[in-house]
């Protein structure tokens, strides 16, 4: 049914993958499909990292890629987990990169909505509205 699952996560927020990662792994095993761990370097984070130089930005990207690879390496019984780092708007990067990679399911965590989420829209809600594929939301 699914051939490629994309799991967006925030490396600085374990709640973004604490429950979503086991769910994605279970689906990966059940459907014998690929799993890609994915994080986004947002525009504000990129601007802060590049404030002093392009070298600072490249180092920030390298550290992010290494942290994501380390997380993938810690996953037992899931050979072939790939990683990818997106850049730009969080929800737009998730939606666009899922399409480009050919992901047919996005598994992501969502926190309980607060008033600001109703006014501004949370990343998960935007991904659900704009994704070309199915989206499975795991509540923390």
Give how many domains the chain has, as a whole number: 1
φ and ψ of 29, to 5 deg: -70, -45
Q: Give pLDDT, residue 117.
A: 47
Q: Give pLDDT, residue 75.
A: 86
Closest CA to 120 of 91, 81, 95: 91
Q: Give pLDDT, residue 60.
A: 82
Q: To which H or E segment does residue 66 belong?
A: helix 54-73
Q: In angstroms, rounded to a whole number, what is the distance separating the alpha carbons of residues 138 and 140?
A: 7
Q: To which H or E segment does residue 90 belong?
A: helix 90-101
Q: How many CB atoms lie within 10 A of CB 122?
A: 17
CATH number for the domain spanning 78: value is 3.40.50.620
Q: To which H or E segment does residue 58 belong?
A: helix 54-73
Q: Give pLDDT, residue 52.
A: 62
Give the structural domain span for 69: 4-139
This prediction has a pTM of 0.86
User: For every one of its 140 residues, what pLDDT tens digit does the chain have, with 9 covering 90 and above?
Assistant: 899 999 999 998 888 889 999 999 999 999 999 999 999 988 777 776 666 667 777 888 899 999 999 999 888 777 679 999 999 899 999 999 999 999 999 999 987 656 444 433 478 889 999 999 999 999 87
Q: Give pLDDT, residue 79.
A: 67
Considering just the CA atoms, what is the radius of gyration of the chain in Å?
15
């Amino acid at each position: 049914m699914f051939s490629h699952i994309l799991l967006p996560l925030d490396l600085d927020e374990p709640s973004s993958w604490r429950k979503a990662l086991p769910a994605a792994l279970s689906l990966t095993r059940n459907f014998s499909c690929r799993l890609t761990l994915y994080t986004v370097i947002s525009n504000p984070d990129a601007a802060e990292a590049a404030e002093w130089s392009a070298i600072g930005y490249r180092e920030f990207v390298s550290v992010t890629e290494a942290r994501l690879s380390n997380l993938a390496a810690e996953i037992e019984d899931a050979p072939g987990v790939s990683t990818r780092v997106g850049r730009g708007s969080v929800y737009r990067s998730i939606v666009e990169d899922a399409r480009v990679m050919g992901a047919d399911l996005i598994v992501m965590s969502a926190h309980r909505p607060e008033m600001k989420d109703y006014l501004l829209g949370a990343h998960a809600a935007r991904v659900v509205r704009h994704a070309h594929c199915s989206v499975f939301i795991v509540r923390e």
